[in-house]
């Protein structure tokens, strides 16, 4: 099993450009999450999904959109990138419910917005 994978690993954008980050998991997990990590800030939840076709806002959702068209994939979109979105983005998945609440993280995407 590959676990949780993220594409791309690195990206540099100019202000106003758009992009999509892809997260994939092969563990048949129900729940998926997108976090951002900034120096000294820990991880902050952007959006999450409790199942295929459903998404919900987390702590810092502004400027981001998400979609979960397939159970194994969770996409994070930036429509008009801003320098404040420079960060490391982590995706995570969890079995959910009685099968366990442990979250398994992907390797991260380092995004720089100039």
Partner 1 sequence: GENVEQHPSTLSVQEGDSAVIKCTYSDSASNYFPWYKQELGKRPQLIIDIRSNVGEKKDQRIAVTLNKTAKHFSLHITETQPEDSAVYFCAPGRGGSNSGYALNFGKGTSLLVTP
52 contacts 70 by C-beta, under 8 angstroms: yes
Q: Which of 50, 61, 67, 77 binds partner 1 (CB under 8 A)?
A: 50
Residue 16 or 53 having the CB closest to partner 1: 53
Query: No. of H helices and E strands in the chain?
Result: 0, 11
Least CB distance to partner 1 at residue 18 (A): 25
Whether the Cβ atoms of residue 15 and residue 82 lie closer than 8 Å to each other: yes
Supply the minimum distance, in Å, between the C-beta of residue 71 and partner 1: 14
Residues of this chain, 51-80, that bind partner 1 according to CB under 8 A: 56, 58-59
Q: Which long-range CB contacts under 8 A does 55-62 form with residues at least 24 apart?
A: 58/33, 58/34, 60/36
Asked if 26 is part of the footprint of partner 1 (rule: CB under 8 A), the reply reads: no
What is the smallest separation between the CB atom of 7 and partner 1, expressed in angstroms?
15
Residue from 94, 109, 111, 113 binding partner 1 (CB under 8 A): 94
Work out the angle at residue 98's Cα, subtended by the Cα atoms of residues 96 and 99, and round it to the nearest 5 degrees. 65
With contact defined as beta carbons under 8 Å apart, do 49 and 73 qualify? Answer: no
Using CB under 8 A as the criterion, which residues of the chain lie in contact with partner 1 when the complex forms?
Answer: 31, 33, 35, 40-45, 48-50, 56, 58-59, 90, 94, 96-97, 101-108
């Amino acid at each position: 099993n590959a676990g949780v994978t993220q594409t791309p690993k690195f990206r540099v954008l100019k202000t106003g450009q758009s992009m999509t980050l892809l997260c994939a998991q092969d563990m048949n997990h129900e729940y998926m999450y997108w976090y951002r990590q900034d120096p000294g800030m820990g991880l902050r939840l952007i959006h999450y999904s409790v199942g295929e076709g459903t998404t919900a806002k987390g702590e810092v959702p502004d400027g981001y959109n998400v979609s979960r068209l397939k159970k194994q994939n969770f996409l994070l979109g930036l429509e008009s990138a801003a320098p404040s979105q420079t960060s490391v983005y982590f995706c995570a998945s969890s079995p959910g419910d009685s099968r366990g609440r442990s979250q398994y993280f992907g390797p991260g995407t380092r995004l720089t917005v100039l």
